[in-house]
Amino acid sequence: MLPSQPNKSLLDGLDCLQLLASSAEALGSREVARRLGLEPSRANRLLKTLAHVRLIEQDERRRYRPGPGIHALAAQSLFGSGLIRRALGPLGKLHVHGHTVAMGVLWRDHMSYLYHADPGMDTSTALGRIGLFPVTRSGLGMALLACQDDENVRAMWATSANETPVEQVLTDLAEIREAGFALRVGRTERTVAVTVGSAPYAAVGMSGRFTDAHIPELVSALRHAAEMIEKKG
């Protein structure tokens, strides 16, 4: 929930930074303003401030893209938290089941995958290969969203562009809480996921073609991996 007196400039600046960090191409200030619903002059001031501290930079066409500062911040955060370092071993052992293995964190109403490896994929390729993903389309994201109370989810949906009705989301989250894990059924594959941490900060999951009979085994393996990731911390 927002504090009683949130800093609007800080929030808008973070929105600009997040938009550029998740964009596949550099964006001009007017495009940033349009996507975020900001006044062009305000967006321009925020972008110039972020560029001044080198969190973003301009290309030869004067469009904005992530700068060295954000890459340094990302490296520092991964080193400081140790999450990736702790997770690689336990995640690698999950590949014995023959499914896609993933780990990620929740960012507002989107899932951010830190690790996403198809069977046989090299670990170096699995790191950071997928960007933000709508939470309702992610088993891992729904597992993490289920850790929030309904009031927070409703508040999130009030400003979300997600087209899934909030009442449907709340129904799905109630089922996840009751089961103790998330199961998402896609057109050709299914995903099963559990959270990491007593105060959940990440989720791990496996996706593939498996039957209901395989779910207990996969959930058990995921819970063991989650315990190992947390224990190493």
pLDDT one-digit tens code per residue, 44-92: 999 999 999 999 999 999 999 999 998 888 878 777 778 888 999 999 9
Domain spanning 82-231: which superfamily? Answer: GAF domain (3.30.450.40)
Checking if the pLDDT of 13 tops 60, the result is yes
Q: What is the mean pLDDT of the chain?
A: 92
Confidence of residue 231 (pLDDT cuts 50, 70, 90): confident
Give a three-class secondary structure readout of 96-146.
HHCCEEEEEEEECCEEEEEEEECCCCCHHHHECCCCEEEHHHCHHHHHHHC
Average pLDDT of span 108-122: 91
Nearest CA among 231, 153, 216, 209 for reference residue 180: 216
Does the reported pTM lie above 0.95? no
Q: Yes or no: is domain 8-71 CATH 1.10.10.10? A: yes
Checking if the pLDDT of 214 tops 80, the result is yes
pLDDT confidence of residue 3: 66
What whole-number distance in Å separates Cα of residue 181 and Cα of residue 127? Answer: 24
pLDDT confidence of residue 232: 61
Tens-place pLDDT, residues 117-137: 999 888 778 888 887 889 999
Domain ranges (residues) in the chain: 8-71, 82-231
pLDDT confidence of residue 124: 76
Checking if the pLDDT of 233 tops 60, the result is no
Tens-place pLDDT, residues 86-96: 999 999 999 99
pLDDT confidence of residue 2: 58
DSSP per residue, the chain? ---SS--HHHHHHHHHHHHHHH-SS-B-HHHHHHHHT--HHHHHHHHHHHHHTTSEEE-TTS-EEE-HHHHHHHHHHHHHH-HHHHHHHHHHHHGGG-SEEEEEEEETTEEEEEEEE-TT--HHHHBT-S-EEEGGG-HHHHHHHTTS-HHHHHHHHHT----S-HHHHHHHHHHHHHHTSEEEE-SS-EEEEEEETTTT-EEEEEEES--GGGHHHHHHHHHHHHHHHHHT-
Checking if the pLDDT of 110 tops 70, the result is yes
Alpha-carbon torsion (116, 118, 119, 123), positive or negative: negative
Checking if the pLDDT of 176 tops 60, the result is yes
Q: Between the ranges 2-16, 153-167, 170-184, where is the mean pLDDT highest?
A: 170-184
Checking if the pLDDT of 26 tops 90, the result is yes
Checking if the pLDDT of 111 tops 80, the result is yes
Q: CA-based Rg of the chain, rounded to a whole angstrom? A: 19
